[in-house]
Amino acid sequence: MSEEKKEKNLDIAASKESNETEQKIDAVATENNSLEKKQEKKTKKKFNLKKVFDNIKRSFTNKQFRSGAYSSVLTVLVIAIVVVVNLVFGKLDLSTDLSSGSYFTLSKTTKKILKQVDSDITIYYMVQDGSEQDYISNALKQYNKVSKHVKVKRIDPVVNPGFAKKQGIDDEISSNDVIVVNNKTKSAKYISNEDMYIESNSMYSSGSSSTSLDVEGQVTAAIQNVISDSSTKMYVLTKHSETELGDTLKSALEKMNYEISDLELATKDSVPSDCDVLYINGPTTDITTEEKDKILDYLKNGGSAIINVGYTTEKMTNFKEILAYYGVNVTSGIICEGTGNYATYPNYIVPSVGSDSSLLSDLSGYIIFPDAAGLSKASSDSVRSTVKITDLLDTSDSSFIKVDPSSGSASKEDGDVDGPFSVGYSITETVDKKETNLLVFASSGAFSESFTQTTQLANATVFKKAASSLSKSDVKEASIDKKNLSYSYVSLTSGTQLLWAAIIIVIIPGGLLICGFLIWFFRRRK
């Protein structure tokens, strides 16, 4: 082989080797670059992850996190406290009556009565599961809390249909009825749920009605009934055009364990021997001489009576002689008030409680006596020293008696009698250990249904206090008033409506807008 070919081959081999070397170097460089990139990516990943953890760590220590954590802990704590308090109140059966009419709270009168209870009393609530009336069930729960002698138990009348008969109750029992039982004497009193909800027509607008709740009144009356060994018998004199005893007062007397019967005295030899209280309510025709003697015999032998004087043009000689025997004179005519102390009309007087009256000393509310007669005490030398007379209710100094109400003038005229007058007396007399108790009022209309059915007046309370003071029961009887469930509506004149509309729609929103603008304006200037 020639030298020239050898050199050429060597050059080719060298060039090939050089190319292979360069390729290897490029491959190594490429590999190194790849490794460097991977290392760089790995380093970047490590760096970013660390940064994330650092950020998270810082977020747990900054002010914003501490504030949020504090709010969260406080929220959880408040929720926990609310749950615990609800559990405690539910377990202890603690509650507060926020109703406007105190529908679920027992009155002070009931609490006083329950303190007299020394026998175990059970109140059986006859009700099926799921049929409870809230007003009844919640009111009954209060009796457990006030007296340890009073317990409330639920009985399902469907599951136990013969339970009432075992207690001596023959009435047909329905859900939400109540039976009160004295466990010692086994005396029982049944209360229908219909008697605990009373719907009555309004005396002020025709066709309207109101619903009243009488759970406490009925249950407390039943407790008084089963713990008392005796009731009070009242006879109401009739056949002299007397003012009728209304349903409101009848219900109140029944709650006080009174038994009420009419008395036609002309057909009797005397006032019945079982009469505890005689009620004479404003006769407008005179009683006979025989009836007068029978009534006086009853009173002289330690009898008790409530006598109302009604306005009449009759002379009423025999009737007035009964009052005169106990030192009370009746002036003919109707009392009118000169200034103030009357409601709507001068002959509708608003008397004040006498300063010596313990019977009405705690009376609250207004009393209205319509068409009242003037009462006055007889002179001391014309009445027995054993008779004690106490003023209960008095008129003002500006009052006068309108001797002739038919004159057509409401102002004082010649011949009218100047006041003040008494319109209520309490009279007692003790002779040979026999005590006579007599309560005299000057307005029979004051205790009519129209003046006693409303809770806005205290007329019914006056009568109930009078009856309670004469009760012959061994238990201090009281009558709890029903509670009105009706809503009270506020009537506004058109002018008042426009005023309130302007305040609510214009003035209040406008004031808020102005305040907001001023706050924004001053902040912007800063």
User: Looking at the structure, do residues 263 and 330 belong to the same domain, yes or no?
Assistant: yes
Is 44 inside any structural domain?
yes
Q: Is 248 exposed, middle or buried (0-12, 13-18, 19+ CB in 10 A)?
A: buried
User: Looking at the structure, do residues 301 and 405 belong to the same domain, yes or no?
Assistant: yes
Amino acid, single-letter form, for residue 490? V
Contact 190, 226 (CB under 8 A): no
Contact 476, 116 (CB under 8 A): yes
Q: What pLDDT, on a 0 to 100 scale, did the predictor assign at position 117?
A: 84
Q: What pLDDT, on a 0 to 100 scale, did the predictor assign at position 202?
A: 44
Q: Distance between terminal CA atoms of the chain?
A: 103
User: Looking at the structure, do residues 47 and 71 belong to the same domain, yes or no?
Assistant: no
Task: Classify residue 457 by its DSSP letter.
Answer: B
User: Looking at the structure, do residues 29 and 73 belong to the same domain, yes or no?
Assistant: no
Percent of the chain topping pLDDT 90: 33
Is 357 inside any structural domain?
yes
With CA atoms as reference, report the closest residue to 481 among 217, 197, 247, 139. 217
Q: What pLDDT, on a 0 to 100 scale, did the predictor assign at position 300?
A: 95
User: Looking at the structure, do residues 200 and 237 belong to the same domain, yes or no?
Assistant: no
Whether the per-residue pLDDT at 256 is higher than 70: the answer is: yes
With CA atoms as reference, report the closest residue to 400 among 309, 323, 339. 339
How many helices (H) and strands (E) in the chain? 14, 22
User: Looking at the structure, do residues 136 and 275 belong to the same domain, yes or no?
Assistant: no
Is 479 inside any structural domain?
no
Bridge partner list, 472: none
pTM of the model: 0.68
Query: Over the stretch 357-416, which tens digit does the pLDDT of each residue have?
Result: 788 877 878 899 999 998 999 988 888 999 999 999 999 888 999 888 877 777 788 888
User: Looking at the structure, do residues 138 and 32 belong to the same domain, yes or no?
Assistant: no
Task: Print the SS3 string covering 179-207.
Answer: EEEECCCCCEEEECHHHHEEEEECCCCCC
Query: Over the stretch 25-62, which tens digit does the pLDDT of each residue have?
Result: 666 556 656 655 555 555 554 545 666 566 666 655 66
Q: What pLDDT, on a 0 to 100 scale, did the predictor assign at position 345?
A: 82
Is 337 inside any structural domain?
yes
Q: What pLDDT, on a 0 to 100 scale, did the predictor assign at position 39?
A: 59
Q: What is the DSSP string of 385-437?
A: TTEEEEEEEE--TT-EEES-GGGS--S--TTPEE---EEEEEEEEEETTEEEE
Q: Is 446 exposed, middle or buried (0-12, 13-18, 19+ CB in 10 A)?
A: buried
Tell me the CATH number at 236. 3.40.50.880
User: Looking at the structure, do residues 385 and 468 belong to the same domain, yes or no?
Assistant: yes
Three-state DSSP class for residue 279:
strand
Task: Print the SS3 string covering 212-263.
Answer: EECHHHHHHHHHHHHHCCCCEEEEEECCCCCCCCCHHHHHHHHHCCEEEEEE
CB atoms within 10 A of CB 207: 6
> What is the enclosing helix (H) or strand (E) of 123?
strand 121-126
User: Looking at the structure, do residues 71 and 28 belong to the same domain, yes or no?
Assistant: no
Is 421 inside any structural domain?
yes
On average, the pLDDT of the chain sits at: 82
User: Looking at the structure, do residues 236 and 270 belong to the same domain, yes or no?
Assistant: yes
Q: Which of 173, 194, 229 is the last residue of a domain?
A: 229
Q: Which of 45, 79, 94 is the last residue of a domain?
A: 94
pLDDT band at 302 (very low <50, low <70, confident <90, very high): very high
Is 480 inside any structural domain?
no
Boundaries of domain holding 51: 1-58
User: Looking at the structure, do residues 288 and 391 belong to the same domain, yes or no?
Assistant: yes
What's the number of domains the chain is made of?
5
Tell me the CATH number at 188. 3.40.30.10
Q: What pLDDT, on a 0 to 100 scale, did the predictor assign at position 34?
A: 62
Highest mean pLDDT among 122-131, 211-220, 233-242, 452-461: 233-242
Whether the per-residue pLDDT at 185 is higher than 60: the answer is: yes
Q: Which of 199, 229, 259 is the last residue of a domain?
A: 229
If one compares 6 and 119, the residue with the highest pLDDT of the two is 119
Task: Classify residue 366 by its DSSP letter.
Answer: B
Is 478 inside any structural domain?
no
Three-state DSSP class for residue 47:
helix
CA distance 158 to 174: 9
Is 484 inside any structural domain?
no
User: Looking at the structure, do residues 374 and 304 belong to the same domain, yes or no?
Assistant: yes
Six token digits for residue 207? 């066709």
